[in-house]
Amino acid sequence: MRNAPAPLHLCGRFPAGGPLVAVVGARAASAEGVKRAEGLAADLAGRGAVVLSGGAIGIDAAAHRGAGGRTVVVLASGLDRPYPERNASLFAEIVAAGGALASPFPAGTPVRRWQFLRRNEVIAALADAVVVVEARARSGALHTARAAAQLGKIVGACPGSPGTDALLGAGAAWIETGNDVVAALAGTPRRPERRAPAAGDEAAAWGALVRPADADTVAARAGISILRAARALTALELDGLATALPGGRWARV
C-alpha cells in the first residue's frame, strides 16, 4: 500500500490510481461544514483522487459519503470492531462500492484514546495532501495536519473556523474546491491575499514585528500598552498576518 507507514489490515479494496487526499475535520461540525466536506470529496473523487478520512461522525463521515467508492476509512480500532458503531452502515456501503476500511491495529483491538492519535498519523503518512475542512482551535484534525507537515506533505484548509483559519495564517493552502487541491499538489497552492493594516494598534504591532517578539517587546516597540499590544496581536492572528510561536513570541506570517 502506497506510503503506508507500517503494515495495515485491510477490508475491501484500496482504490487504485490518483492522489491520496485526506479530508478531515470536526466531529461536532456545522451543517455548512458537512456540506462543504461532502462536496469537496465528491469533486476530488470525480477527478480520480482517493479520499482518506477517519470514519468519525461529522466532517469525516461527510467526506466518505461524498467520495462514494473512492474512499478509505482509516480506523482507530480493529477491523472487526469498527468505531463509531453508528457509522457501521456507512462502512458497509463504502466496502460494497469498492472502497476499503484500513487499520494499523489487529482484529479484536478495542478503542483507546491514544489510538486516535495513531490513526491520525497513519492518515497523514498515507496522504499526498491533508485538507482540514472545519476545526476548533484545539482539534484532532489539527494533529493530522501537524503530522502531515512534519512529513513534508501538503497541508490545506478551508476558511471559516478557528482551527482552519489558524492553519491558513500559518501558511496552509487555501482550499475551497477540488481545483485548489489540484493546484496545491502541482506546487502552486492558492494563498489568501493579505495586506498590512494601515492604521491603529494593529499597524503599530505589525510594524513592531520586524523580528519575532513577545507581547511585552511588541508593546515597547510600538509605544502602546501591553493590553493593547495583546489585543492587536490577536487581531493580526485572526487576519492571518501574525502567528503565535513557542515561548510566547509572535511573528509575521
Which three three-digit cell numbers place residue 225?
Answer: 500598552
If asked whether residues 14 and 113 sit together in one domain, one would say yes
- Cβ atoms of residues 240 and 169 within 8 Å: yes
If asked whether residues 181 and 208 sit together in one domain, one would say no
Tens digits of pLDDT across the chain (253 residues)? 566 666 899 999 999 889 999 999 999 999 999 999 999 999 999 999 999 999 999 999 999 999 999 999 999 999 999 999 999 999 999 999 999 999 999 999 888 999 999 999 999 999 999 999 999 888 889 999 999 999 999 999 999 898 998 888 788 999 999 999 999 999 999 886 667 787 899 999 999 998 899 999 999 999 999 999 999 999 998 877 888 888 889 988 7
If asked whether residues 68 and 178 sit together in one domain, one would say yes
**What is the pLDDT, as a whole number, of residue 136?**
87
- Cβ atoms of residues 50 and 71 within 8 Å: yes
In a domain, 116, yes or no: yes
If asked whether residues 96 and 147 sit together in one domain, one would say yes
Q: pLDDT tens-digit profile of 165-185?
A: 888 878 899 999 999 999 999
What is this structure's pTM? 0.77
Within the chain, strands assigned E span: 9-12, 20-24, 50-53, 71-74, 100-103, 129-132, 154-157, 173-174, 213-214, 242-244, 249-252
Which phi and psi angles does 13 have, rounded to 5°? -120, 130
Residue ending a domain, among 185, 210, 236, is: 185
In a domain, 220, yes or no: yes
**What is the pLDDT, as a whole number, of residue 226?**
94
In a domain, 190, yes or no: no
**What is the pLDDT, as a whole number, of residue 210?**
87
In a domain, 4, yes or no: no
| Tally of CB atoms within 10 A around 122 | 26
DSSP bridge partners of 22: 52, 130
**What is the pLDDT, as a whole number, of residue 106?**
93
In a domain, 212, yes or no: yes
- Cβ atoms of residues 13 and 98 within 8 Å: yes
In a domain, 114, yes or no: yes
If asked whether residues 204 and 171 sit together in one domain, one would say no
Q: Which among 196, 105, 103, 140 has a CA at the least distance from the CA of 26?
A: 140
- Cβ atoms of residues 252 and 169 within 8 Å: no
**What is the pLDDT, as a whole number, of residue 5?**
66
214, amino acid identity: D
d(CA 177, CA 243): 25
172: domain CATH number?
3.40.50.450
Domain, as residue range, for 232? 200-252
| Tally of CB atoms within 10 A around 155 | 27
Give the H or E element holding residue 207: helix 200-208
46, amino acid identity: G
- Cβ atoms of residues 58 and 29 within 8 Å: yes
In a domain, 172, yes or no: yes
If asked whether residues 176 and 223 sit together in one domain, one would say no
Residue ending a domain, among 134, 158, 185, is: 185
Residue ending a domain, among 185, 210, 239, is: 185
If asked whether residues 239 and 148 sit together in one domain, one would say no
CA dihedral 40, 144, 166, 158 (to 10 degrees): 0
If asked whether residues 161 and 124 sit together in one domain, one would say yes
Number of domains in the chain: 2
If asked whether residues 172 and 207 sit together in one domain, one would say no
- Cβ atoms of residues 196 and 203 within 8 Å: yes
Residue 24 exposure: Cα atoms within 13 Å on the Cβ side: 34
204, amino acid identity: A
In a domain, 192, yes or no: no
Q: Which among 46, 32, 22 has a CA at the least distance from the CA of 179?
A: 46
Give the Å distances, CA to CA, from 52 to 88, 110, 234. 17, 21, 33
If asked whether residues 17 and 128 sit together in one domain, one would say yes
If asked whether residues 204 and 140 sit together in one domain, one would say no
The cell 502541482 sits on which residue? 186
If asked whether residues 98 and 135 sit together in one domain, one would say yes
95, amino acid identity: V
240: domain CATH number?
1.10.10.10
